[in-house]
Chains A and B, each alone.
Chain A
């Protein structure tokens, strides 16, 4: 690289300053929120028995960290989310490929898929408990059912947008359906796949929490329900805070994956 001109340097300085401001602003909002919460709770303006407070959260976290229970709950929820996410990704990819290959089946089944997709899945949860029992299986099925139909439809639409001529190219070079999928459809749909994964990871977390509300003996969803029943709001709010961190972390993970494939 040659020498950077005066104007370019000024531009780079402005850009760096902009980035700093954004970062600073984010931290400020966070700290301000914590201070306001803690302050109002201490002054008695906010009933900290119901609304909890940062210091009370820290104390609960400390005691639950000491006996390890908070890590157990978080770990279980995360584990269930990752398992259902993996299942959703694999299943929807497989279904979309099958539907792409068999147009007749796809056209026949499409209205049913759309219906299943728009059905509020939380309505299914109690049914699932009766069918499958109050266990991890129910939780994972709930989470998978929440995301799999929409994800299949999105991927199928993406596959159908693949340039007809690219398919013709593969066939002119002697390739079959398998080659079309492996050499054109999948690589073409990678960006779409990653963006559906972003949606799915969030949906899976929602599904797991819904499942845990109803059918769990452990996990953050269970902790929320348990806390609200015994009126330990610290548990409830701590769980919600940890959930926020988890979803941000999971989203970040897919973001990293996205950077790697592009």
Chain B
């Protein structure tokens, strides 16, 4: 199968008058359609930079990024809901700018608000939402454009632990049910394992791909998908955790 996304020896550095910060070096990997890849790495290693490059907000200094005719949706590290718009108007922001705000699209967004438990908040101001709901609204805004490839930058990091488990579980289940291809950045190893079909470990800055750990569970062999929560309780889970933990730690 053709990969949706392929990176070939991608390198990037930030330039300021104070000096050069090399963020990425020689990054190569590819993502197949329907895959859910988790990306972990020490803080400040260049994970957000990598997503910005894939989304096209930055241009790689070296190497190339190939995207197979896919529309990319990028969910930034913070929700950045615009306070002067209602939750619904925030959710349709992308559609509005692409001039695709058709009645069908509106209905789709309304349906998503319902699925994510936000239908009662459609006309609320973002500041009236809890952290978990804000995050879901931001996800709907990204999904409204129906991206084929979804980039998620620590989407759950602003949430408290309990909400995080819940929302992570919800969103992970929904995304996998819809068969979205996704690249998830996280610093929570358990989250990476419970959601991903593969975990990519990055080294500290300048980031290089340090290890690629495919994640599979015996209970999933029959074709049945475990929910993220079930994965956390599966027997293989702690083995993966130990292994990735070691990879991340050996760094520093």
Contacts and interface: CB of A to CB of B under 8 A. Distances in A.
A171 B74 CA distance: 10
A42 interface: no
Contact of A169 (B76, B84, B98): B76
Prevailing SS type, chain A contact patch: helix
Contacts of A188: 84
A64 B142 CA distance: 66
Contacts of A190: 84
Interface in A161-180: 163, 165-166, 168-175, 179
Interface string B210-221: 000000000000
A168 B145 contact: no
Given A165-B76, A168-B57, A173 B82 contact: no
Interface in B29-84: 52, 55, 57, 74, 76, 78, 80, 82, 84
B97 A174 contact: yes
B141 A173 contact: yes
B93 interface: yes
Interface in A139-188: 163, 165-166, 168-175, 179, 183-184, 187-188
Interface in B89-124: 93-94, 97-98
Given A171-B57, A173-B141, A183 B97 contact: yes
Contact of A173 (B52, B78, B93): B93
A43 to B, nearest CB: 60
Contacts of A163: 80
A188 B82 CA distance: 9
B145 A173 contact: yes
B59 to A, nearest CB: 13
Contact of A172 (B76, B78, B82, B84): B76
A28 to B, nearest CB: 42
Nearest to A261: B84
Contacts of A171: 57
Contacts of A170: 97
25 contacts: A163-B80, A165-B78, A168-B52, A169-B76, A169-B80, A172-B55, A172-B57, A172-B74, A172-B76, A173-B93, A173-B94, A173-B97, A173-B98, A173-B142, A173-B145, A174-B94, A174-B97, A174-B98, A174-B145, A175-B94, A175-B97, A183-B93, A183-B97, A187-B84, A190-B84
Interface of A: 163, 165-166, 168-175, 179, 183-184, 187-188, 190
Interface of B: 52, 55, 57, 74, 76, 78, 80, 82, 84, 93-94, 97-98, 141-142, 145
Ordered nearest first, which 10 A-B pairs have the shortest CB separation?
A173-B94, A172-B74, A175-B97, A187-B84, A169-B80, A179-B97, A172-B55, A174-B98, A171-B57, A166-B80
Given A170-B97, A172-B57, A173-B141, 15 more contacts: A163-B80, A165-B76, A165-B80, A166-B82, A172-B74, A172-B76, A173-B93, A173-B97, A173-B142, A174-B94, A179-B97, A183-B93, A184-B82, A187-B84, A188-B84
